[in-house]
A and B are shown apart, each in its own frame.
Chain A
Amino acid sequence: MGGMSTKQRIGWVVITVVVLLWSLFPVVSILMTSFKTQAGLFSGKFLPPEWTWENYATILAPGGSAQDLFLPSLRNSIGISLISTVVAVVLATFCAYAIARLDFRGKKLILTTALAVSVFPVVSIVTPLFNLWRSIGLYDTWPGLIIPYLSLTLPISIWTLAAFFRQIPWELEQAAQVDGATPFQAFRKAVVPLAAPGVFTTAIIAFFIAWNDFVYGISLTSTSAARPVPAALSFFTGASQFEEPTGAISAAAIVVTVPIVIVVLIFQRRIVSGLTQGAVKG
């Protein structure tokens, strides 16, 4: 940023701060709420008047009132999201490899279909799915959610990976073969290290999509057998009719957000894939 004048630099700093405030304020606000007591909720203050772990105890500690609602749903969310991510990424990797490397009929068709599927509004298929799942016994099961999640994660995975694979200098594979590698060694030693960041990025995107879903989660489940966290949150109730579950919901939201933020921070460097630079003249 050496070429910037002081004025420009100040401008950028201001913009950055505004954007940060704008996007972080809700998160911080929820974090603060999660530490408020029942009384503190209505204090109208941003910071909790008195700090408490009570809300976290409600959802996590044995005997907490929302614990039997939250913990199974957390397990469901993690399991279902992970499985749909793995399946989507594995399938998308094969698909994108073929799209990037081979010339075959129907290549365009696959890509446009994938795009069409991903822009199809979720709400319009959720009712038919509800009926179908009920009649074939997938309602309120893990596969009953994994399958629709794949329809969300697969297209975007195929598109991201295909775009990524197209940039890989495939000549490296040939170079490795000339250097004495078997075709499989060439793939593993020259291509996989370059493809890894792309696959990883795709996995994270796919995981977020599954993790954040609400519509399928609420419509296709009825018990804690398969209900994911976003859906479960809406079933939280206060200790009595007159208590708001806001504190517990905030705590739950923080519990499901923090791991994601940590993952992104840890793998930030890998997600930014500057790795392919310098393979070829440039």
Chain B
Amino acid sequence: MASISLDHVVKTYPDGFTAVKGVSLDIADGEFVILVGPSGCGKSTLLRMIVGLEDITDGELRIGEKVVNDLAPRDRDLAMVFQNYALYPHLTVYENIAFPLRLARGQFSDSEVDERVRRASALLELDEHLERKPANLSGGQRQRVAMGRAIVRQAKAFLFDEPLSNLDAKLRGQMRTEIARLQRNLATTTVYVTHDQTEAMTLGDRVAVLRRGELQQVASPRGLYDQPVNLFVAGFIGSPPMNFLPGIVEGDRIRLPLVDVPLDDRLRTAVGEREIVIVGIRPDAYEDVDTLEPHKAEGGVRFEADVDVTEWLGEVLYAYVPFETHDAVREKLAELDRDLDGEGMRTQLVVTLDSMSTVRAGDAAELWFHPDSMHIFDAETGDSLTRDEDRAAELEEEAKEQRRRALERAKRRAEREAQAAADGEERASA
């Protein structure tokens, strides 16, 4: 186990394309870090540089205290789960898992290899498949074999490259919790690449958001959601994505499509001298006035909206409200949409309503939101103007504390289990 630290790491491919542009990231010992970003932003490249399959063009990579830029993969002692598993088809499940141990020749006796393989297979519930070939396994089973191969030796860190992307939704959910459980139990430093929102938000202690080879923000999932540093992070994190509206500042009000909002102190400082800004409001910040509890309504703004389409999903109702955007921000928002792999979305507001709401397509609904939920971004640079550094630091502290407690619990549980196993043996031998 070890920490991993990247210091201004750059990757330029032989064809001249710079896929990673100076990324600096410190991953603590035992931490679970997620790399997210749209397709082609350099996630896999970064991971492959860490594991040693791709040369580092510039910058420094340290594992523990040691600079490993020029070490071969085998000397870095990291375990990786590939996107397509890369199991050895000519070997049985048992031999696939034992493969790394057999390569460390002389280090493990046959009985030690056997013991470790069986421990890994028990953990991953692969016992009954040990003698089978990978070709005959289901996707989820193959995925577990790949995990087994990674955990069988005590590597310094685990690296995952979208390990769940080819599984169906149900299995993906199952494996996700399994990975989370496994990592908590083993407390091994983990870097996990994904572009799945749920995986990014639920698995990691911290999430690193990449865009075109540049790191945008590294924070706890809650930190990213509440205190994004710029338009890109705000738009990337959260599903359905944040609504971005043009905001025209007029005196002590800010004019949004559909509604005017009075500027309070927080917004006033954020806006400064600007005349036009981009306002971000998450879909779940809106409420249907009909289902709103009266005491919550205080201080918020109400407005009428013509609902175009609704989608009822059982637990929530999504309502879509088209609006006219403003020329000054159209270009910026179109660029953002391209960055986010969007498909030239229409300018519409997505609103998450209570599933009891009676709003239907074609209705004029009365909606409500509180100005405190507004994020304000610079229309030129896309930087967040409402980001609260103190609040962000507080969130990071909380996340760290939670993480520490989880690790302690895991350690205590492991001790208890070891104790129980020892007692069992004593009783058996008595």
Q: Are A181 and B74 in contact (CB under 8 A)?
A: yes
- CA gap between A182 and B88 in the complex, in Å: 16
**Is A169 an interface position by the 8 A CB rule?**
yes
Task: Return the contact of B82 from the options A175, A189, A194, A277 (Cβ within 8 A).
Answer: A175
Binary CB contact string for chain A from 28 to 41 against chain B (1 if under 8 A, 0 otherwise): 00000000000000
Closest beta carbon of chain A to B3's beta carbon, Å? 19
- List CB contacts (< 8 Å) of A224-282 with chain B: 274-281
Given A278-B142, A281-B139, A281-B166, also A177-B88 (CB < 8 A)? no
Known: A178-B80, A181-B74. A279 touches B88 (CB 8 A): yes
Select A278's contact among B51, B104, B135, B149, beta carbons within 8 Å. B135
**Inter-chain contact B74/A180, CB cutoff 8 Å:** yes
Taking CB atoms, residues of chain B closer than 8 Å to A169 are: 84, 86
User: Which residues on the A side are within 8 Å of B142 (C-beta)?
Assistant: 278, 281
The reply to whether the CB of A131 lies closer than 8 angstroms to some CB of chain B is: no
Is the CB of B374 closer than 8 A to any CB of chain A? no
Q: Are B74 and A276 neighbours in the complex by a CB distance under 8 Å?
A: no
* Assembly CA distance A246 to B72 (angstroms): 67
Q: Is B103 a contact of A181 with CB atoms below 8 Å? A: yes
CB < 8 Å neighbour of A279 from B53, B73, B134, B153: B134
Residue of chain A at shortest CB distance from B74: A180
Chain A residues within an 8 Å CB radius of B153 = 180
Report yes or no: A278 in contact with B134, Cβ–Cβ below 8 A: yes
Residue A49 interfacial (CB < 8 Å): no
> Is A174 engaged at the interface, CB distance under 8 Å to the other chain?
yes
Q: Is the CB of B53 within 8 A of A179?
A: no
Does B244 interact with chain A (Cβ within 8 Å)? no
B51-88 near A? 1/0 per residue, CB < 8 Å: 11100000000000000000011100111101011111
CB <8 Å contact, A177 and B86: no
Given contacts A177-B72, A178-B78, whether A193 and B90 have CB atoms under 8 Å apart is yes
**Closest Cβ of chain B: how far from A103's Cβ, in Å?**
10
Whether B89 is near chain A, meaning CB under 8 Å from some CB there, is: yes
> In whole angstroms, what is the CA distance A204 to B104 when docked?
37
Instruction: Please give the distance in Å from A118's CB to the nearest CB on chain B.
Output: 31
- Considering the complex, give the chain B residue whose CB is closest to the CB of A179: B100
A172 at the interface (CB under 8 A from B): yes
Q: Does A78 have its Cβ within 8 Å of any Cβ on chain B? A: no
**Interface presence of B174 (CB below 8 A):** no
A190 & B88 in contact (Cβ 8 Å cutoff) = yes
Given contacts A178-B73, A179-B103, contact A277 B78 (CB under 8 A): no
* Chain A neighbourhood of B85, CB < 8 A: 279-281
**Shortest distance between the CB of B126 and any CB in chain A (Å):** 15
Q: Is the CB of A178 within 8 A of B79?
A: yes
Q: Is B381 an interface residue (CB 8 A)?
A: no
A194 to B89 alpha-carbon distance, docked (Å): 8
Contact B80 A278 (CB under 8 A): no
Smallest CB-CB separation from B146: which chain A residue? Answer: A175
Confirm or deny: A185 has a beta carbon within 8 angstroms of a beta carbon on chain B.
yes
Chain B, Cβ-Cβ closest to A171 = B86
* Nearest CB on A from B338, distance (A): 29
A87 within 8 Å of B by Cβ?
Answer: no
In the bound complex, residues from chain A placing their C-beta under 8 Å from that of B104 are 180
Asked whether A71 is an interface residue with its Cβ less than 8 Å from the other chain, the reply is: no
B89 and A279: CB pair below 8 A? Answer: yes
Return the chain B residue nearest A168 by Cβ. Answer: B89
Flag whether B323 is at the interface (Cβ < 8 A): no
CB distance from B189 to the nearest CB of A (A): 15
B356, CB-defined interface residue at 8 Å = no
Task: Decide yes or no whether A176 CB sits under 8 A from chain B.
Answer: yes
**Which residues from B are CB-within-8-Å of A171?**
82, 84, 86
Is B133 among interface residues, defined by CB-CB distance under 8 A? yes
Asked if residues A278 and B87 are in contact (CB atoms below 8 Å), the reply is yes
Nearest A-chain residue to B152, judged by Cβ? A179
Q: Is there contact, CB below 8 Å, between B135 and A177?
A: no
Residues of B within 8 A of A175 (CB): 80, 82, 86, 88
B78, B90, B99 — which one has the most chain A CB atoms within 10 A of its CB?
B90
Residues in A neighbouring B87, C-beta threshold 8 A: 278-280
| A177 surroundings in chain B (CB, below 8 A) | 52-53, 72-74
Interface flag for B137 (CB, 8 Å) = yes
Q: Do B89 and A178 touch (CB < 8 A)?
A: no
By beta carbon, the residue of chain A nearest B75 is A180
* A194 engages B90 (CB within 8 Å): yes
Q: Which residue of chain B has the shortest Cβ distance to A175 in the bound complex?
A: B86
A172 closest partner in B (C-beta): B86
Interface residues of A in 177-230 (CB under 8 A from B): 177-183, 185, 189-190, 193-194
Among A172, A183, A274, A281, the residue within 8 A (CB) of B88 is A172
Is B111 an interface position by the 8 A CB rule?
A: no
Render B149-162 as a binary contact track against A, CB cut-off 8 A, 1 for contact: 10001000000000
6 A–B contacts, CB within 8 A, in A order: A169-B86, A177-B72, A189-B88, A279-B88, A279-B89, A279-B135
Sorted nearest first, the 9 A-B pairs with minimum C-beta distance are: A278-B135, A175-B86, A280-B84, A179-B100, A278-B134, A277-B135, A279-B89, A180-B103, A193-B90
Q: Which B residues contact A (CB, under 8 angstroms)?
A: 51-53, 72-74, 77-80, 82, 84-90, 99-100, 103-104, 133-137, 139, 142, 149, 153, 166
Further contacts, 20 of them, CB under 8 A, given A189-B103, A278-B134, A279-B134: A169-B84, A172-B86, A174-B73, A175-B86, A175-B88, A176-B99, A179-B100, A180-B104, A182-B74, A185-B103, A193-B90, A194-B89, A194-B90, A275-B90, A278-B133, A278-B137, A278-B142, A279-B87, A281-B139, A281-B166
